[in-house]
Chain A
Amino acid sequence: NAGVTQTPKFRVLKTGQSMTLLCAQDMNHEYMYWYRQDPGMGLRLIHYSVGEGTTAKGEVPDGYNVSRLKKQNFLLGLESAAPSQTSVYFCASTWTSDTGELFFGEGSRLTVL
């Protein structure tokens, strides 16, 4: 029972480098989300997807891109990392838009130097 799996779990980048975070879910969920979590702040939505081949911007999309080529995978890309993107990133998934019961991955801790 894998649920939601994120890779990598930890990464250190230099300013300007690029990287991709991978989220995979095996629950056949339609909806997938990328959040960032920073100290003293609530989870903030970066991008989300309502189904295979779709993506949409969330609250804080600047500096990030996403793709959902397969239903089970949701990729988050940083094209040119900045120190402000140092954060813990969580992927989540669920069945429909009107359920707030999200299933989260274990998180990916990213440090940008």
Chain B
Amino acid sequence: GQNIDQPTEMTATEGAIVQINCTYQTSGFNGLFWYQQHAGEAPTFLSYNVLDGLEEKGRFSSFLSRSKGYSYLLLKELQMKDSASYLCAVMDSNYQLIWGAGTKLIIKP
């Protein structure tokens, strides 16, 4: 079966750095995606990785290792507004997105 695993909840301090991990087992691979979802709102696209390595976009970076079935989202200089759920999704061989349950990130002052 297809599976995406990510921690349920994480806590970090304002101004710090946090890494949210995602491991996956899917039928084929056509890219890994990270979305941010604030409570009660829609998911919004953050990043896309299809090749191994690190993609940086401002305070957010995303890393992919296809051989290990592993990705992480790195958030630097955390701000209170970063409190949200972070969803990991993998596009399988049929170009369908398989979604993880999300990681709720709590930022404390």
Contacts and interface: CB of A to CB of B under 8 A. Distances in A.
A42 B42 contact: no
A42 B98 contact: yes
Interface residues of B, number: 23
Contact of A90 (B30, B42, B96, B100): B42
Interface string B40-57: 111111001000000000
B44 A104 contact: yes
Contact of B99 (A43, A98, A101, A104): A43
A21 B62 CA distance: 35
B43 A98 contact: no
A112 interface: no
B56 to A, nearest CB: 18
Contacts of A58: 96
A32 B107 CA distance: 34
B75 to A, nearest CB: 19
A53 B30 CA distance: 27
B95 A42 contact: no
For the complex of A and B, 7 pairs with smallest distance between CB atoms: A42-B99, A104-B42, A100-B33, A43-B99, A97-B95, A101-B45, A42-B101
Interface of A: 4, 40-45, 58, 90, 97-98, 100-107
